[in-house]
């Protein structure tokens, strides 16, 4: 009776979790990139971000263009996914990714006080400027299809795909966050690199990489689609816990590095 909802992929086509030797090498490369970022942030002085929310005298034009641009980017990504996957899968992915990004932002902003958004944003829910979860959703999708569309990347293990997706996401955020924090879209209480703390990049890496690993694994299981959706929810809850641990560990490490050296 569940046949119409079953995944058509054969069990033999399932992606392995890791490939012996190669996964370790890729993990080592990611670790070296992390070390490089710490050294770069420690040794190369950067200008502090400006204080205040209207520091460029643009009437908050950049802020509102960013909001509308992120919304448009998410909508275009959704339409692309609809054409690629069909309505049900695309809708579920984007709703879940949007909620995933929103919860991450809301918990961090409201509970940690680590950063705050420009209060003049048009689209705000509770403490979160919704443009950021819109951006989360589009970036997660972009990283996922980049890996899916490259023939040479399809043989990667699930953990390897997560590592690559995390690096792709961070490579985007390194440029985006450093630019927009200087336009007053949000403000960090403390920072190490161009107005942005290193823990932020850990969060991006873990959040996007973890989501891609969970999504890839669940989509390959031959079970009813509804069960996949429930399983994805459970997996994401687990990823929240791992994410918080990694971000906290990064915060401790960066505190030690920048205070002792």
197 in a structural domain: yes
DSSP for residue 152: G
Q: Which helix (H) or strand (E) holds 186?
A: strand 186-188
- Examine residue 107 and state whether it is found in any structural domain, yes or no: yes
In a domain, 220, yes or no: yes
How many independent structural domains does the chain possess? 1
Question: 213: which 2 tokens?
Answer: 């690993």
The pLDDT, as a whole number, for residue 198 is 76
Domain assignment present for residue 114? The answer is yes
**10-residue mean pLDDT series, the chain (261 residues):** 36 58 71 66 58 61 90 96 90 87 83 81 91 92 88 77 87 82 80 73 83 76 54 56 55 54 49
Owning domain of residue 102: 58-260
Contact 44, 192 (CB under 8 A): no
Instruction: Please give the pLDDT value at position 49.
Output: 60
Q: For residues 170 and 218, give the distance between their C-alpha atoms in angstroms, rounded to a whole number.
A: 24
Residue 107: its pLDDT value, please?
80
Give the pLDDT of residue 80.
95
> What integer pLDDT is reported at residue 72 of this predicted model?
96
Q: Within the chain, how many helices (H) and strands (E) appear?
A: 7, 4
| Residue 33 maps to a domain | no
Q: What is the pLDDT of residue 5?
A: 33
Question: Does some domain include residue 145?
Answer: yes
State the pLDDT at residue 40: 60
Residue 49 in any domain: the answer is no
Q: Per residue in 175-204, is it b (16+ CB within 10 Å) or e — as a string?
A: ebbbebbbbbbbbbeebbbbbbbbbbbbbb
- The per-residue pLDDT for 164 is 87
125: DSSP letter? E
Asked whether residue 248 is assigned to any structural domain, the reply reads yes
Q: Which two tokens stand for residue 75?
A: 């909508």
Looking at residue 60, its pLDDT comes to 76
Per-residue burial over 26-45, b if 16 or more Cβ lie within 10 Å, else e, is: beeebeeebeebbeebeeee
Q: Which pLDDT belongs to residue 255? A: 56
């Amino acid at each position: 009776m569940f046949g119409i909802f079953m995944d058509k992929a054969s069990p033999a086509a399932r992606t392995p979790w890791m490939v012996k030797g190669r996964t370790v090498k890729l993990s080592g490369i990611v670790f070296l990139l992390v070390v490089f970022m710490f050294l770069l942030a420690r040794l190369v002085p950067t200008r502090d971000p400006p204080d205040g929310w209207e520091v460029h005298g643009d009437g908050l034009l950049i802020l509102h263009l960013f909001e509308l641009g992120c919304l448009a980017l998410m909508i275009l990504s959704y339409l692309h996914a609809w054409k690629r996957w069909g309505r049900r899968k695309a809708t579920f992915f984007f709703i879940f990714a949007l909620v995933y990004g929103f919860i991450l932002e809301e918990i961090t902003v409201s509970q940690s006080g680590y950063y705050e958004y420009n209060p003049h944003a048009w689209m705000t829910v509770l403490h979160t400027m919704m443009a950021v979860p819109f951006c989360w959703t589009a970036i997660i999708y972009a990283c996922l299809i980049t890996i899916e569309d490259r023939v040479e990347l399809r043989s990667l293990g699930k953990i390897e795909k997560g590592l690559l997706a995390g690096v792709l996401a961070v490579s985007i955020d390194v440029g985006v966050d450093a630019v927009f924090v200087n336009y007053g879209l949000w403000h960090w209480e403390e920072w190490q690199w161009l107005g942005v703390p290193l823990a932020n990049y850990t969060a991006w890496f873990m959040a996007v990489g973890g989501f891609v690993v969970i999504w890839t694994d669940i989509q390959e299981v031959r079970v009813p689609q509804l069960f996949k959706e429930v399983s994805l929810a459970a997996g994401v809850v687990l990823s929240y816990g791992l994410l918080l641990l990694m971000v906290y560990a990064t915060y401790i490490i960066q505190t030690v590095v920048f205070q002792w050296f």
